[in-house]
Amino acid sequence: MSLFQADEPLLQVHNVTRYYGDRVGCADVSFDLWPGEVLAIVGESGSGKTTLLNCLSTRLAPTAGAIEYRMRDGSMRNLYQLSEAERRLLMRTDWGFVHQNAADGLRMNVSAGANVGERLMAVGDRHYGNIRSTADAWLGRVEIDSDRIDDDPRSFSGGMRQRLQIARNLVTRPRLVFMDEPTGGLDVSVQARLLDLLRRLVADLGLSVVIVTHDLAVARLLSHRIMVMRHGNVIEAGLTDQVLDDPREPYSQLLVSSILQV
């Protein structure tokens, strides 16, 4: 995987903090994400990684701090100063969100082709033939046979549902994709196939990705850079290979040595 090349960051995160009453979800998190960069956020359950992901993707408002995103016109905008309509448009077009449970990211009562086609309609495509042919091409790209285009996702296996969710997210060629444990709950052989697919697509499309995972093998395979979280704080960050091969913090060392179950 080649390292990202960019002159300006795509996403800038400034001292983001989220409280749940008196409990800290995440605290004082800052980083830049660059075009074409994949950042993995790792840590045990309750470390704050999912809270942070939800703040970044505007699913959960931070208690303090700011998150800025570079729009397609080059301007940096504070995500929480956008209107609700502007944020929804970003989520439908310029961003993607891949859920651990594919059913959360799909419409389970419409066909596979319609799931992909809805995203195309969100960016203004109204030609049925174009929508169907593009959906068919993307199903092939995520290794779903063309003859399943009119089947609904309820008839798909877990791995197929996840691949369909990926096609639905990537068909509009977003610049930023959030992934929440995308291989969680899948059999090992299915995970390996999905990871290989994700790695190819991310590289081919030049995507920026923020991925939350407890699986360090996923982080190593997909990410350029890694942040280790514990009790809502980022305790170590750096290039993925450097952190995983030579972690400085004792907690990171426990994660890498698999002494701590996450």
DSSP characters over 89-140: HHHHTTEEEE-SSGGGGS-TTS-HHHHHHHHHHHTT---HHHHHHHHHHHHH
**Which residue is it, tokens 């390996």?**
192
**Region 46-68: what's the mean pLDDT?**
96
- Distance between CA atoms of 260 and 252, rounded to whole angstroms? 9
Examine the pLDDT at 167 and tell me if it is beyond 70. Answer: yes
Tokens at residue 241, please? 């290979």
Percent of the chain with pLDDT over 90: 81
Closest by Cα among 12, 30, 44 to 228 = 44
CA-CA distances (angstroms) from residue 199 to 118, 194, 203? 24, 9, 6
Tokens at residue 249, please? 């913090």
Cut 0.85: pTM above it? yes
**Region 24-46: what's the mean pLDDT?**
96
CA-CA distances (angstroms) from residue 208 to 16, 22, 211, 236? 20, 33, 10, 21
pLDDT tens-digit readout, 173-220: 999 999 999 988 888 888 999 999 999 999 999 999 999 998 999 999
